[in-house]
Structure 1
Amino acid sequence: MKPSETPEFTPEFPGQGERLAAHHKNPETLSLLARRRSTAAICLRDPGPTAEELDCLLQIAARVPDHGKMAPWRFVLFQGEDRAYFGEVLAKIWASENESDEARLELETQRFLRAPLVIGVISRVLEKHNIPEWEQILSAGAACQNLLIAAQAMGYGSQWLTEWYAYHPQVKDTLGLRSGERVAGFIYIGSTDEEPVERVRPSPEIGIWRG
């Protein structure tokens, strides 16, 4: 069933100060997590999330462990024609530093057109703070993972990518990244007919500490 054919469902978010259950026994959630699999961005297409679904995705993304209640992340949305414009920026930056043929420049131009929605998750670290920088960074990573899980639960495919442009200083300037900010990931989200094949996964490495 395609997302557009699925009855719209909006979860109920709690109000500030509301008492919440300490656990949520839900076999469907466990099944989703056990079978979660990324879908290659090239396999994503329209339609993407509706405005209401996007708002829900971002609210869920923000519901992550956050030591110190710092919200050490923010989101940059790429939709519509802005995806093509950003692709042109990437192509110009790439061409200014590399010998490129038309095929490579076309690839760079099309990067953000691979999905109807791309969410840039920006990690923003407050340095010299009593909350360790590493914990702030991990919180941004958790926001990325929440987006993947929520998108799949809504019926969309998704993929978390960085690629070269996540680390390039000119791209960072274009995105308006400030001191202490860097790209945690670009989350590509869209409809898909693909059925990803399960990959080899390592057994969890387990150590038992004994005092």
Structure 2
Amino acid sequence: MDALTLLLTRQSCPRLTKPAPNADQMKVILDAAARVPDHGGLTPWEFIIAEGDGLSKLADIFEAAASQQGADDDFIEKAANMPKRAPMIITVVAKTRSDIKKVPELEQQLAAGCAAMAMQQAAFAQGLGAIWRTGSFAFDETVNKELGLEIDDQIVGFLYIGTPAIDMPLKPQKDGSQFARYL
């Protein structure tokens, strides 16, 4: 698949099944993330990969967070099942450095977001499916603590990756010019 086709046909794939990416595919996915724009070469990100038992651990973390939030039993059960929607989840974390004044923290968070997008594109280019999810757990203190994050770290998303469970019809192309204006 050429780069322009990839960019113009990429779409989220919410229904994923096994297999997860193999070792060679994961290397491409992680290497693509490491190539994103990164002002100052700070590499302000961390990728926490959950598959197999790791998905069970993530389910326990989500369940504990929902319970800590005072959610009802239905949501607590839903939270515990969220990691079962794909054979792999990569938690993408912005690890910002406030001591580097020439690179604002927002730029560092955006770089981590670019890494998430690059990983999704790399998965898609290799015939895999992926969907980038956030939700309340991306901003939850319990989740951060259980994942071992620092106080200034920010989860930018949970990238669910696997094999598409169904053929997704191609979404209609959007005309990007409708969102642009010239000075």
Per the normalisation by structure 2, the TM-score is 0.90
How many residues were matched structurally?
Answer: 180
Could you tell me which amino acid in structure 2 is paired with residue 127 of structure 1? S
Contact 1:37 1:196 in 2 (8 A): no
1:68 paired residue number: 40
Cα gap change, 1:83/1:71 in structure 2, threshold over 3 Å: closer, same or farther?
Answer: same
Larger helix fraction of residues: 2
2:167 paired residue number: 194
Could you tell me which amino acid in structure 2 is paired with residue 132 of structure 1? P
1:35 paired residue number: 9
Contact 1:44 1:114 in 2 (8 A): yes
1:114 paired residue number: 85
Identity of aligned residues (%): 31
Shift of 1:29: 1.5
2:180 paired residue number: 206
- Counterparts of 1:148 and 1:106 in 2: how far apart (Å)? 27
Contact 2:65 2:140 in 1 (8 A): no
Could you tell me which amino acid in structure 2 is paired with residue 117 of structure 1? M
- Counterparts of 1:156 and 1:119 in 2: how far apart (Å)? 14
2:124 paired residue number: 152
Shift of 1:96: 3.4
Contact 2:9 2:170 in 1 (8 A): no
Could you tell me which of 9, 17, 21 is aligned with 1:49?
A: 21
- What do residues 99-143 of structure 1 show as CA deviations (whole Å, max 9, x unaligned)? 523x43321111111111111111011104221222212111110
Unpaired runs of 5+ residues, structure 1, are: 1-26
1:142 paired residue number: 114
Greater relative contact order structure (CA < 8 Å, 6+ sep): 2
Contact 1:84 1:110 in 2 (8 A): no
Cα gap change, 1:81/1:177 in structure 2, threshold over 3 Å: closer, same or farther?
Answer: same
Per the normalisation by structure 1, the TM-score is 0.79
Shift of 1:173: 0.6
Structure with bigger gyration radius: 1
Could you tell me which of 158, 161, 166 is aligned with 2:133?
A: 161
1:84 paired residue number: 56
